[in-house]
Amino acid sequence: MNYKLKKISGDASFREFYRLQKGKNTSIIIQAKKEKFKNLITYIAVNKILEKYKIYAPKLITNHYEHNIIEITDLGQKSFYDSIIKKKNKFTDYKDLIKIIIKLQNIKLQRNYHLGKFKINFQIYSIKNLHKESDLFFDWYLKYCFKSPNLKKIKNILKKELTKIYKKLYFQNNTFVHRDFHASNIMVNKNKLGLIDSQDTIIGNPLYDVASLIDDVRIKLPSNLQERLLNFYYYKSKLKKEEYKNMILKYYQFKEI
């Protein structure tokens, strides 16, 4: 049998991705940096959890842990982004993704899991996690905005203001959160929607993945469509009315900042 290995574009991470052609069949090879090896273990564990709850995700084919490599099933080359970007009426398609989010939120994610000899710990999302994410702005962007020796001072001022904002947010951190749920991380394969890049899963707020999806920078959805999707999420989810209203209020307040 002829084998062909081709590097494919990945995400902005420490991993490299390859498509392995074996005759008519393909699979995906993922290689991580040695110090990030645990990330691959978490990815496998999460995908096993997703499979248990009948959510389509890559399956482990072979592992080569000693070389920081895993081989997983190939969900194809067409993402939800590719299929939706030119459509005018997106509501029906996005409803299908909201349904996936609700299925995710029905998962009873425990803090600790074992995969063979490996132990996986899922964090509970906190203000500390939120700061870690917003720090990317300082690390990747702020230094290009201010060519100033006072950059550290500016950063501290902004972080203090962000802390005030974050303390006003409504945290109900008891839900499975994919944490990177957007149009490019959903694959369309034989009319099935598959979820990839699940290694950053965390226990967090029910609106985290919803906001990631409908407020995605890759596809700018009109505000009326965002509102329809939020309403659809509410009616399909198990959130109590007052609980949901509180979260929605905070969500819109945060968007206006």
Q: Does domain 80-123+169-256 have CATH number 3.40.50.150?
A: no
Q: In degrees rounded to 5, what are phi and psi of residue 153? A: -65, -45
Give the model confidence (pLDDT) of 203-251 as tens digits.
998 889 999 999 998 899 999 999 999 989 988 887 766 566 666 655 5
Whether 64 has a pLDDT exceeding 80, the answer reads: yes
* CATH architecture group of domain 3-73: 2-Layer Sandwich (3.30)
Q: Do residues 226 and 215 lie in contact, with contact meaning Cβ atoms separated by under 8 Å?
A: yes
Reported confidence tier of residue 254, pLDDT bands at 50, 70, 90: low
Q: Do residues 203 and 174 lie in contact, with contact meaning Cβ atoms separated by under 8 Å?
A: yes
Residue with more model confidence, 57 or 157: 57
The whole-angstrom separation of Cα 210 and Cα 45 is: 23
Q: For 97-123, what is the mean pLDDT?
A: 93
**Is-same-fold flag (3-73; 80-123+169-256)?**
no
Give the model confidence (pLDDT) of 35-56 as tens digits.
678 889 999 999 999 999 999 9
The whole-angstrom separation of Cα 17 and Cα 26 is: 13
Q: Where are the domains of the chain?
A: 3-73, 80-123+169-256, 127-166
Give the model confidence (pLDDT) of 69-80 as tens digits.
999 999 999 999
Reported confidence tier of residue 97, pLDDT bands at 50, 70, 90: very high
Instruction: Give the pLDDT of residue 8.
Output: 87
Give the model confidence (pLDDT) of 181-208 as tens digits.
999 999 999 889 999 999 999 999 888 9
Predicted model pTM: 0.87
Q: Which helix (H) or strand (E) holds 64?
A: strand 60-64
Q: Do residues 96 and 50 lie in contact, with contact meaning Cβ atoms separated by under 8 Å?
A: no
Q: Which amino acid does the sequence have at 11?
A: D
User: Which one-letter DSSP state was computed for residue 182?
Assistant: S
The whole-angstrom separation of Cα 141 and Cα 120 is: 32
Nearest to 46 by CA among 203, 198, 204: 198
Instruction: Give the pLDDT of residue 127.
Output: 85
- Hey, which of 7-16, 155-164, 242-251 has the most confident mean pLDDT? 155-164
Q: Do residues 195 and 100 lie in contact, with contact meaning Cβ atoms separated by under 8 Å?
A: yes
Residues with Cβ within 8 Å of 197's Cβ and at least 6 positions away in sequence, in order, are 11, 180, 185
